[in-house]
């Protein structure tokens, strides 16, 4: 089984470039085409927030029309750029979205148990997992202790070294981490928000951030570094469930790349 992650698509209104520069809709369309064209297609895609840039209904209409082109089912959690009312209206056919303040849910129809966790805080760029959401998660985790489990959320509950993003990460991370430590079936935590490939051993599980298919937050370890972005190679996360039942994280680069080229000739000889 392969699980795809798309994150931080930041869709604007048709024809509107993000920051005057980035055709985010074009990048998402190419990401969707990329996933659909993979020789072994992912069984499911996880969309980890900041689906739209300003949370406008027109943005969601465009985002939904692009995501609906995915050839596999997809599941969304919100990011800080999303607006819950407009998001819920646009995705009203996504029956898994609960009628609750928070978009938290479990998908248990695959060999990997997928848990979507809403890390947003109304009106805040930063996120948090409050007591209520943590209790909900603890309850869900206790229902199935042995199945490989993957948690996906927008805000990373760990620091990355990119200061202007770290100050708006997910508060309550230590308490959430204690849950991970108590539940080793959670093999992986997939996040967004920082638009870069980042991974860390976090409370006994592997936590990671995926790049955006569009713009990357600039890699800048200067604590006084200004918020900025680079146009780096667009990519998405692919998680492979191995025969041993381990979740293995890959990056898949979107676009045309030279290859495949053989290592061996037709007689089995190593090509010089
Ligand atoms: Fe974002």
- pLDDT (tens, 9 = 90+) of the chain, 272 residues, equals 999 999 999 999 999 999 999 999 999 999 999 999 999 999 999 999 999 999 999 999 999 999 999 999 999 999 999 999 999 999 999 999 999 999 999 999 999 999 999 999 999 999 999 999 999 999 999 999 999 999 999 999 999 999 999 999 999 899 999 999 999 999 999 999 999 999 999 999 999 999 999 999 999 999 999 999 999 999 999 999 999 999 999 999 999 999 999 999 999 999 98
Cα of 48 from ligand 1 centre, angstroms: 9
Cα of 205 from ligand 1 centre, angstroms: 23
Cα of 8 from ligand 1 centre, angstroms: 4
Q: Which residues contact 178 (CB under 8 A, 6 or more apart)?
A: 203
Query: What are the distances in angstroms from CA 235 to CA 27, 35, 86, 197, 210?
Result: 10, 10, 27, 9, 8
Cα of 50 from ligand 1 centre, angstroms: 5
Cα of 133 from ligand 1 centre, angstroms: 22
Cα of 265 from ligand 1 centre, angstroms: 45
Ion ligand 1 residue ranges (Cβ < 5 Å): 8, 50
The class that CATH gives domain 2-253 is alpha beta
Cα of 248 from ligand 1 centre, angstroms: 24
Cα of 257 from ligand 1 centre, angstroms: 26
pTM, entire model: 0.97
Cα of 94 from ligand 1 centre, angstroms: 22
Q: How far apart are the first and last CA of the chain?
A: 35
Q: What is the pLDDT of residue 272?
A: 87
Q: Where are the domains of the chain?
A: 2-253
Cα of 192 from ligand 1 centre, angstroms: 7
Cα of 269 from ligand 1 centre, angstroms: 47
Cα of 209 from ligand 1 centre, angstroms: 11
Minimal CA–CA distance to 189: which of 132, 235, 149?
149
The span from the CA of 97 to the CA of 86, in Å, is: 13
Q: What is the pLDDT of residue 91?
A: 98
Cα of 126 from ligand 1 centre, angstroms: 11
């Amino acid at each position: 089984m392969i699980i795809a992650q798309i994150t931080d698509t930041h869709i604007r209104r048709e024809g509107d470039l993000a920051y005057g520069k980035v055709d985010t809709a074009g990048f998402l369309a190419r990401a969707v085409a990329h996933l659909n064209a993979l020789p072994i297609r992912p069984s499911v895609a996880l969309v980890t927030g900041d689906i739209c840039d300003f949370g406008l209904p027109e943005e969601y209409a465009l985002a939904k029309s692009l995501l609906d082109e995915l050839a596999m089912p997809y599941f969304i959690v919100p990011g800080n750029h999303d607006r819950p009312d407009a998001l819920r209206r646009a995705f009203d056919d996504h029956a898994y979205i609960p009628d609750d303040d928070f978009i938290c849910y479990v998908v248990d129809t695959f060999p990997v148990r997928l848990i979507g966790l809403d890390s947003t805080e109304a009106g805040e760029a930063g996120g948090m997992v409050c007591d209520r959401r943590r209790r909900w998660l603890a309850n869900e985790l206790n229902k199935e202790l042995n199945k490989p489990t993957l948690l996906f959320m927008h805000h990373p509950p760990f620091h990355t070294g990119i200061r202007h993003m770290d100050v708006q990460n997910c508060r309550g991370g230590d308490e959430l981490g204690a849950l991970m430590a108590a539940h080793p079936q959670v093999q992986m935590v997939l996040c967004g928000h920082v638009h870069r490939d980042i991974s860390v051993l976090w409370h006994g599980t592997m936590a990671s951030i995926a790049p955006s298919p569009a713009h990357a937050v600039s890699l800048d370890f200067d604590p006084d570094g200004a918020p900025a972005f680079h146009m780096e190679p667009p990519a998405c996360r692919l998680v492979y469930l191995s025969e041993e039942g381990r979740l293995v994280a890959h990056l898949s680069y979107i676009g045309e790349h030279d290859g495949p080229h053989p290592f061996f000739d037709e007689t089995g000889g190593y090509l010089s």
